[in-house]
Structure 1
């Protein structure tokens, strides 16, 4: 049978003087099986998954079908991931959220409707993410993981917070995926859930692997049937039960717990009830139960002081766990059950194969490890690599922008503010005609349209790309030229529409309020229009680039405001002072040079562009865009080099 997931020597990076959260964890999950990673809260289950997905630095190797994740061309098509809650804008609809992820993962848009039907969310496809309940959120998380139709599912606490009925439905979905030949690995803190739903159970405790068993062996050695007894005379009843067991030579184990409660292994309700009746001991509760022995099973003598989660009697299978926990580096004895043995560590050849970029794939079956007396080499380091671009960046960006009402609300606020500013400036007077149509009084550093375009540009690099479904693709905003080009194109189109709508609305309102004279179009409208479009588009691009460089919307908006407040005074100060030469006659010489090449008067556009750049704001904006673009490219090259 093909072993799909192989994890060797997973070890997290230690923090300061603290030991690593996960140390030397090795296991495997096979195709067509459901594997449960079991452990109490804080045992290291989520850290193991993050190391496997190369989302956290450390050491070790994890092979999916014989290849590390970073050597798979499109990891999200191979591994579907659910880590934590489902993030997303609370105003985005369920269907819109999935369609946006379809564009990022390269899946067709109809796939969103297919997974909605599979997880039972068709009736809620138009609901907002902020209104979903906990159970619906987990269904949506599973839908995101199934979106690229992956072969392997890696889920962190998928049934957390679900009711019993919803949990059965979820595990039925996982079982169906495994029945189709897929691989399922999920974490849980409930031993009964692991035994009931998984084919194999891998147990962690304190960041170490303590057991790797088939589900039947796990249930037999850890989930033992017991009788729960509550009595105000629990100590006396425990002593009586222990004495009668020794007299009858029966294997009965009595465990004292809190609240006058006893757990009796190896007996029945009828025997315990008869014993309590014969000795006149009052019993408040007597019921059969399946007990969780816990990963750290420690045996105690019969009738002696016992712990709350005692193990089987000496000589039974869990004694191997006790020996292994006392001596983590020791080999299991010949008498220990094979289901308790953890998988061996990765051989040095497999480690070198995974480390070298062009090396052959590691073997499907791990070897038996190094011989005693020889130190095994350290596993290769796990590096957090940058994310690839969305497979369809332009489609992703369009759905990201149009999926929520932030852009439309910002545009409406900009238009209203611009109209009010233009009307107020016309009433006060002393504002040139061109600035009046743009609603840009001299007292304002930037017009409302430029500020709105910069804000929308800064919002382009938010947290919209951080989704658990794309965790296999590193799940964060990538610095890639494809995504940057898409964001610049969409931001530029929005800024262009905002610029034209602002001037149109201002002119119409001014005409209604004050007549044709105030709303008259200036004679040099071509150069002024080019400058206006360049200003608004440049502010939008400055917001995109600054937010992409600093990974912050606030930094993007601050970069837009810094152009008129900081950069323009610096440019004006640099241009002050005596000039040796001037650019007099520039327009005439441009016409002479480009007259033959531009027979249709194209030199006018070049002259208009030159005049825009020659303006203080235009020059400062050009310098800012150039600096931000260089910084973005530098960070991109550095991330690729790393």
Structure 2
């Protein structure tokens, strides 16, 4: 059950609230329609209920507000507009990614795809879907977490009558399985065909809360629509002849060549036109919307247990019981998000090719150290291509999240969640380490093939160099990730990565009064002497190497940048409501 109590939107400037003191209920097993014309407050009401817009009042889903749910996607499915997702991602991959985010088995994606009639389109890309298929995919995404409640904003807008009927059947099937369905619509005739209960809004307030049968009787009125080039003459004839036999008939001039006749039939109107030789271009039965003022206001605003409608038993969607999400689900989501589109793969391949193209001229010059050859890092570049590529992949991890917000409803921003951050940091660490290792391996192999076995070899202190290389690519990936998450932009993530060697390193070098390596000489021996657990003497070179790497300006600049970005990110998270996942 959904209970909306006193929902009132925050006013903007001098304008009144778009929704004021809105109170209604949506009961399980029924389809409830929130009806109103554009500007009546339907979408604002839904966004207030989902806590996507500031205001006051409370919305309870099964007795709890949304922010008191540990896993909202497992309890409330939402469709607010088009499906938010990367246009190059396939339908199946998109739903499997959402299944991982909701903590449900990946097989659930195939179940909901079949339920909404998209079983054969799993490999089709989101950007190629028609509007009808997009709406079905949106419903599948809402159902992926096995929710008891569905909230949809004009899901049939722009659909054909056949596509709308299919969507109606799917939603009625969810209601037939004891689910709660709340749909915002602007067409009263569609509401009369589809709903069990209709809550009518006008000017941001509830003007009626009725069973569908009562709504249809009071709001919709049958009429005969007539179009004739002699509308004035025909309306006078109809008024004279039909009124004489039935005083309840009403003839209304709609303007131009259109006439509306209430309380009569096409046969009676056609006979009058035929007897008097009046040309008629259109003669059809219609249902007229009498407007929200024609609906009597319900003072109590409460639900009526005698709601009408019709339940469909053949459209129910089988829903298995699922265990709560575990800590591994955010990582599964991030892996599917990163691997589902080609952008990351292309960025990694471009970084490898760029590193090789830089290393070949360096080897031909013959005066470069083995470390610079293997990493493809000439002194003229602020960063090696592999490290910049790792930073780009880190920036894309959050940049794509904000550009194609699969985890957000409507146009709301993607929440900065600590569980999501931890998963992205872990995946970025692995990806950056693999990218750095593959870059070194490819450069070494190609240089040996081109220039001979003696062209390049491992540096004497290769363990320390490998540690520093790993730290560099990993730190760049983290810097891009944190900056993109903080500023909600891939570009800002790249700016943060490039600012480390171009701005932070010169500042660190200027602040240092002497080479930091001198200050840290013998520090490993002091650590060993003061430690409660005495490590073997063979560990000293590793400790000395790590200390020496940390004392370099690049290492210090990267550490300072990461610390500042992480602190800023955590401050922004803690200022709002923190939720670990999802």
Q: TM-score, normalised by structure 1?
A: 0.81
Q: Residues of 2 paired with 1:9 and 1:424: CA distance?
A: 71
Which one of the candidate residues 196, 210, 215 is aligned to 1:199? 196
Asked if residue 341 in structure 1 is aligned to residue 298 in structure 2, the reply is: yes
Assess if the C-alpha contact under 8 Å between 2:35 and 2:191 holds in 1: yes
Q: Which of 475, 481, 489 does residue 538 from structure 1 map onto?
A: 475
Say whether the 8 Å CA contact 1:390–1:396 is kept in structure 2.
no
Partners of 1:400 and 1:288 in 2: CA distance: 52
For 1:604 and 1:88, the matched residues in 2 are separated by: 49
User: What is the Cα-based RMSD across aligned positions, in Å?
Assistant: 2.7
2: distance between equivalents of 1:438 and 1:466?
Answer: 32
Shift of 1:264: 0.3
Query: Distance between the aligned counterparts of 2:301 and 2:284, measured in 1?
Result: 42
SS at match of 1:67: coil
Tell me the residue number matched to 1:161. Answer: 158
CA separation of 1:275/1:91 partners in 2, compared to 1, >3 Å: closer, same or farther? Answer: closer
Is the CA contact (8 Å cut-off) linking 2:355 and 2:386 kept in structure 1? Answer: yes
Checking the alignment, whether the CA contact within 8 Å between 2:418 and 2:578 is kept in structure 1 is no
* Alpha-carbon offset, residue 239 of structure 1: 2.6
Which of 448, 452, 455 aligns to 2:389? It is 452
Is contact 2:524–2:547 with CA below 8 Å preserved after alignment?
no
1:464 alignment partner, SS class: helix
Distance in 2 (CA, whole Å) between partners of 1:603 and 1:292 is: 85
Contact 2:100/2:332, CA 8 A, preserved across alignment? yes
| Structure 2 gap segments, 5+ residues each | 305-324
Which structure 2 residues correspond to residues 265-304 of structure 1 after superposition, within 5 A? Answer: 265-296=262-293
Tell me, yes or no, if the aligned pair for 1:466 and 1:475 is still in contact at 8 Å.
no
Aligned to 2:322: none
Shift of 1:641: 8.4
Q: 1:280 to 1:131 in 2, by over 3 A?
A: closer
Q: Distance in 2 between matches of 1:66 and 1:472?
A: 22
Find the counterpart in structure 2 of residue 124 from structure 1.
121
- Equivalent residue runs for 1:423-442 within 5 Å: 423-442=360-379
Q: CA deviation at 1:472?
A: 7.5
Who is 1:369 aligned against? Answer: none
Q: Given the superposition, is the C-alpha separation of residues 567 and 212 from structure 1 closer, same or farther in structure 2, using an over 3 Å criterion?
A: same
Q: 1:473 to 1:275 in 2, by over 3 A?
A: closer
Which shifted more, 59-68 or 457-466?
A: 457-466
Q: 1:170 aligns with which of 167, 170, 173?
A: 167
1:238 to 223, 235, 238: 235
Q: For residues 505-525 of structure 1, what are the alpha-carbon distances to aligned partners after superposition, in whole Å with 9 as ceiling and x for unaligned? A: 111111122223321111111
- In structure 2, the partner of 1:608 is 545
Mapped partners of 1:554, 1:390: distance in 2: 30
User: Cα distance 1:529–1:463, how it changes in 2: closer, same or farther (>3 A)?
Assistant: closer
Alpha-carbon contact 1:84-1:468 (below 8 Å) kept: no
Range moving further from structure 2, 241-250 or 461-470 = 461-470
Contact kept? 2:90, 2:126, Cα under 8 Å: yes
- The answer as to whether partners of 1:445 and 1:565 remain within 8 angstroms in 2 is yes
Q: Which residue of 2 aligns with 1:309?
A: none
**444-453 or 545-554: bigger deviation:** 545-554
Cα 1:470–1:547, aligned 2, differ >3 Å: closer, same or farther?
closer
Identify the match of residue 61 of structure 1 among 58, 72, 75. 58
2: CA distance between counterparts of 1:522 and 1:598? 26
Q: Partners of 1:489 and 1:470 in 2: how far apart?
A: 19
Compute the displacement of 1:418 (Å): 0.4
Following TM superposition, by how much is the alpha carbon of 1:584 offset from its aligned partner in structure 2, in angstroms? 4.2
Per the alignment, do residues 515 and 205 of structure 1 end up closer, same or farther by CA in structure 2, a change over 3 Å counting? same
Residue 589 of structure 1 and its aligned partner are, at CA, apart by 4.8
**541, 546, 563: which is aligned to 1:626?**
563
CA distance in 2, matches of 1:478, 1:496: 28
User: 2 CA distance for matches of 1:63 and 1:198?
Assistant: 21
Residue of structure 1 in register with 2:93 after alignment: 96
Distance in 2 (CA, whole Å) between partners of 1:212 and 1:538 is: 58
Q: Contact conserved, 2:355 with 2:385, CA < 8 A, in 1?
A: yes
Shift of 1:40: 2.0
Q: CA deviation digits over 1:248-285, x for unaligned, max 9?
A: 46111112113311010011223223333444433332
Taking structure 2 as the reference length, the TM-score comes to 0.89
| 1:44 and 2:1 correspond | no
Distance 1:242 1:40 in 2: 32
Q: Deviations over 1:494-514 (max 9, x none)?
A: 111111111111111111222
Checking the alignment, whether the CA contact within 8 Å between 1:200 and 1:215 is kept in structure 2 is yes
Residue range with higher mean Cα deviation, 156-165 or 470-479: 470-479
Q: In the aligned structure 2, how far is the partner of 1:626 from the partner of 1:194?
A: 55
- Contact 2:417 2:578 (8 Å CA) reproduced: no
Between the aligned partners of 1:245 and 1:43, the Cα distance in structure 2 is 38
Shift of 1:194: 0.8
Aligned 8 A contact 2:221 2:289 in 1: yes
Query: How many residues in Structure 1 have an aligned counterpart in Structure 2?
Result: 558
* SS of residue matched to 2:233: helix
Q: Does 1:478 align with 2:415?
A: yes
Q: Please list the CA deviations of residues 227-260 of structure 1 after superposition, one character each: whole Å capped at 9, or x if unmatched.
A: 1112222123223333345544611111211331
What is the rounded CA distance, in whole Å, between the counterparts of 2:355 and 2:119 in structure 1? 42
The equivalent of 2:312 in structure 1 is none
Where in structure 2 are the equivalents of 1:80-479 lying within 5 Å? 80-248=77-245, 250-296=247-293, 318=294, 321=295, 340-341=297-298, 343-344=300-301, 392-464=329-401, 476-479=413-416
**In structure 2, the residue corresponding to 1:40 is in which secondary structure?**
coil
